[in-house]
Amino acid sequence: MKLEFFRDLYRAGHACIRVVTLEEPEAAQVLLDFAHAHNLQAWTWSSVQGLIRREVHQNTPVPETENAAAALAWLRLNLDAPALVLTLDLADHLTDPRVLRALRELSEFFRLGPDAGDATGRKALVMIDHKDEVPDAVGFSSVRLDLPAPDDDELESIIRRVISRLRRASPVNASMTRADLRLIIENLRGLSRRHAEQLVAQVSLADGAFSLDDLPAIQAGKRRLLQDAGVLEFVDAPASLDDIGGLDRFKAWLLERAHAFSDQARTYNLPPPRGVLLLGVQGAGKSLAARAVATAWKRPLMRLDPGALYDRYIGESESRLRAALRQAQAMAPVVLWIDEIEKGFAGAAGQSVDGGLSRRMFGTLLTWMQEHTAPVFLIATANDISALPPELLRKGRFDETFFVDLPGEAARKRIFEIHLKRRTLDPARYDLAALARASEGFSGAEIEQAVLASIHRALGGGTKPSQAALLECIAASPPLSVTMRESVANLRRWAQGRCVMAE
């Protein structure tokens, strides 16, 4: 774990530094190593163990300091040498006015004390907490430090350390080429240090070897770990753009921009694409278009569910969003998909009904979109243009805004062919042109449902799926473009001249 940021904050004289992380033991150990390397007294506090002086070869507890206020007061009165004090979950105790008062007084003592002018011998307090929830007074007088996810060099060190530890108990074959190792490291990006260690150990112990053959197990394990975290989720993408019917202009745009990631593009200082906004009719293929990006550029696709970000605790929702964006950057290059973005940030478009939370969340997203430098391609989809904050539609937010309309006749023909093949039916036995004409106004999702309904009807009647059954199902189910004719027409009128047609 690299500590350049912490070292700079310490030398700059920050007396109270907040680290919000679930990797508490890893963060604490690195900070203790920093203290010992710089000849600082090292202290830790928790509500269970109280204050403990952490020396290289022994630990010395201070009696009766389990109470947070008592521990902070003891430090204020007794700490007389350059020191680094780590508190564990102190934020949970700051609702007590005495603890808050003791922390503020200790921070001021550290900031203005006799050794405050010594850039290498100051006193500093580091709060290591599992959530970012502190009183305004503490937020004002402290600085937050976000620990970066492990980079490629650290992931390689983790792999070597785990394999070395496993070999002390039983043989583990870990011979591979440098290229194979790089590929494995790329697939470990975005995981915490602990999860990376656990996953390497798990796949190595399964067969007594660690090699490129373990890549599918690593990818499956990573998907499971990230889904359990509840922030980002992996989404499977089609194997080929041929599996996507229609969207010809959008697919051509993707193939053109694929060259932006080449070495030749870098010679022209050509920046890689940053994102697209997809507007359109429900079921017309916006979600499929998001998958098309990952397919065309051979990148992992991660979905961010805005609804899962909202939490009843103040500040936790913004923290979850920042964590998701940091995770996406750590996994770069990656495609980040925000589905139905207007629902996640609805309060940012008009009258706030959530105390300004949606506006703050939306502001965090806009700032990230403007400033991030990692190769994260953002694709946002939306159904309701009126619910989108106008700031999102400003030129420059996205590389392009596409309108995904209902598929035309040629696209509908291709969509029927894809879904018939997917159900092991021979498209040659069907009159695809007639099906395309009969399904005018149908979305891709509605065409798929018609195919499924025809198969159900055939199985229920003891017959085989047929053209006639499929035409009956098409006629029996009016599409959304009919049942919601006015809203679809309004959306199309708005898109004219404002968006690029995806097909």
Name the pTM for this structure: 0.68
Best-predicted range by mean pLDDT (3-12, 216-225, 453-462): 453-462
Q: Taking residues 323-328, what's their average pLDDT?
A: 82
CB 140 within 8 A of CB 36: no
> Is 127:16 a contact under the CB 8 Å cutoff?
yes
Asked if domains 4-145 and 409-483 share a fold, the reply is: no
pLDDT band at 90 (very low <50, low <70, confident <90, very high): very high
Nearest to 299 by CA among 384, 376, 225, 401: 376
Q: How far is CA 355 from CA 131, 134, 345, 360, in A?
A: 21, 18, 13, 10
pLDDT for residue 236 is more than 80: no
- pLDDT number for residue 349: 53
Looking at residue 355, its pLDDT comes to 61
CATH topology (fold) of 409-483: Helicase, Ruva Protein; domain 3 (1.10.8)
User: Which one of 247-251, 290-294, 353-357, 451-455 scores highest in mean pLDDT?
Assistant: 451-455
**What SS3 state is found at 39?**
coil
- CATH for 241-401, among 3.90.1070.10, 3.40.50.300, 3.10.20.440, 3.30.420.300? 3.40.50.300
The two counts, helices (H) then strands (E), for the chain are 22, 14
**Residue spans per domain, the chain:** 4-145, 152-229, 241-401, 409-483
**88 close to 55: Cβ distance less than 8 angstroms:** no
State whether CATH 3.40.50.300 applies to domain 4-145: yes
Task: Please state the rounded mean pLDDT for residues 71-84.
Answer: 93
Contact 299, 190 (CB under 8 A): no
* Mean pLDDT along residues 461-480: 92
Cβ neighbours, 10 Å, residue 12: 10
Q: What angle do CA 388, 389, 394 make, to 5 degrees?
A: 105
| Residue 436 confidence (pLDDT) above 50 | yes
Mean pLDDT computed over 414-428: 94
pLDDT at 460: 92
3-state secondary structure of 18: strand
Most confidently modeled range among 85-99, 198-212, 213-227: 85-99
- The token pair at 115 is 């050794």
134 or 311: whose pLDDT is higher? 134
